[in-house]
Structure 1
Amino acid sequence: MKNTTNKDARIVMTLDAGGTNFVFSAIQENRPIIDPIRLDPNSHDLTQCLESIITGFELVKKILPAVPAAISFAFPGPADYPRGIIGDLPNLPAFRGGVALGPMLEHHFDIPVYINNDGNLFTYGEALGGLLPELNENLREAENLKRFKNLVGITLGTGFGVGLVSNNQLITGDNSNGGEGWLLRDFLCTDSYVEEHLSREGIRRSYALKSKSPLAEVGMPVDIYHIAKGKVSGNQEAALATYNDFGTVLGEALANLIAVIDGVVVLGGGVSAAFDLFSPAMFQQMRSKYILPDGNTVARLPQQVFNLENPEEKKKLLLGNQKEIAIPNTDKKITYDSMLRTGVGVSKNDTAAMIALGAYAYALEKLSLQ
């Protein structure tokens, strides 16, 4: 997958739509060209919230060196992203009944507007300028013919964000619900979805339950991480068990996604920094086995699962099992790699920067189709 957006001079205005701040910027040739502009989202009132969005983009437009080609940004769902219509948002209560945010901005600025969710755009950014091209370059250097074209992107933080890229294309689904991995069933709490464990509040609730602590007295996931590492006081056993459960639920969720998409996985978001704590249980679950009626077992996934953060495991993935085999009825041979494999790695990039890169590239792709 070749990234050519770093040679495109068109400017795209962007927005990071958080619940506490709206952060506006502009990107040209894959990099921000202005200092971020932060405004209060005024999320309690729809009129004021929409005014904040318009004002933010107006402020950006005034200081740009040229006319922007488009607006592109991540916004929470549920939404009809292709048409720019936002549904009922839990974290932005002013949005109810369907709000035509994209059409409003197109009318005001007279340029195309593209909206998607953060999981999708993070994954698209990583597919263009992150883990996927880096891994394929490593395969080329290892003189292996294998190339990965499918990427599952995961953001671990406030919730469980998922994005899917297949052969350069985002998989968004017929209802803008492609990759809504948070709806996968929680392996350890089967009457709930995975965010029961795979979220900031899920980690806090899990630790509160295991340590028998009032939830109001439990810190953030990073605090629980430090307790688990023995850096601060607290119930270390409960903290370790919390991240072990997190890894088990995450591993089963990733196995389900890989079974459908058959790609590699990149993890981003703040909680991915706890990879050393949750990854052992995650890999154990991904490498687990099903028990058949006759007592035999079969692997949870046919692919071998490698830890891309472990140099030795990554080397095995890169080398594969490549050999030459004869082509029947000819005197020729062909290279064959019989190893089915996937890998899980942690993004080396800032998650917000990857979302912005994804938004920029998504806009340029759509503009090229007009």
Structure 2
Amino acid sequence: MHQPAPDRPRPRVLHLTQPVDGGVARVLTDLVRAQLTAGLHVTVGCPDGPLTPALLALGADVRHWHATRSPGPALLGEVRRLARVIEDVRPELVHAHSAKAGLAGRLAVRGRIPTVFQPHAWSFEAVGGVTSELALRWERWGARWASRVVCVSAAERTTGVRAGVAGRWSVIPNGIDPERFHPAAAGTVRASLLPDVDPAAPLVVCVGRLCRQKGQDVLLRAWEGVLARVPGARLVLVGDGPDLDELRSRAPASVLFAGAVADTVPWYRAADLVVLPSRWEGMALAPLEAMACGRPVVVTDVDGARESLPPGLAPHCLVPPQNPAVLAGAVTGLLLDPPLRESLGHQGRRHVLSTHDVRRTAEAVAGVYRDVLGESAATLAVPTEYRESIHS
């Protein structure tokens, strides 16, 4: 165990992120909380959005960095603005999250400061055609400016290696807070969330940004098959995003749109089943959060998503991507089998507690920082009480 050195200041860490919502923001928030608890000097550079007040409430230093979600003509100005933030903060380590911050951050730093890049799903998988080829070329080139590439799943690392991205790799699965995400009776929660819905109606919940990646359009195509065998079922899409209007125009009356919510926990607890029909993932938080709440899940067999499941759940909970018929069959089968759902929920929670506790994630990231910074990071350690609570 690393003991803090009283005469040595703790390292200054600068996190960079764009986007500022969704799973990346939640991962970053948990990591910043742990690092502040460890006594690090933590600054986050990010655009304005819901992430800023959450970080300020934790006590983090937040620097405004105006940046769009996708690369484009504004990139040069974004890099220049980011360089000014870096010059002002003078970090000893930069940790860039997701594709856009990874692009701008590495261009601004260019290896002059130890840099950790965490893709949270590869940029070249999110697009097609010429754009995908350009993204892949950048990732191959930009890897030289990353002291370490942190992947959230072994499959994400394998995808990078096979694509020709060379670098020093670490695999650190996403974690969730089991003290926040834990089981509770569905009845009372459901009545408060959906007062006009029959409390006995089978309820499926999908939590995620409404966009092509998350595959809600595939779920809507599957939903017709679910209703054919479970006529009273209801589906709730929790989240907001660019596909909202298109999805709403195609959805039958049994599909409800909850919009973006500050707290997803009640929706997991209200669900009989949580579904994530993604086309690609790094490692989604929604299945982990749902399983921590004791709810069974159905996810698509894509990188990261399959690794979020314990082996025993795969036969019931893993379906091929973009296959509405198979997805409908899996959802229907679980809705019609309450004992199996209960068993899968118990298995999923045990798996999350043993493998995906956010404190393990924070400790693993601290290990990467120590390795990257060497002797200068002797004070960088998760506090003993924080680490020991993982096993309590």
The question of a shared fold, defined as TM-score above 0.5 by the shorter chain, is answered with no
User: TM-score, with normalisation over the residues of structure 1?
Assistant: 0.38
Q: Name which one, 1 or 2, has greater alpha-carbon Rg.
A: 1
Structure ranking higher in helix proportion: 2
Structure ranking higher in strand proportion: 1
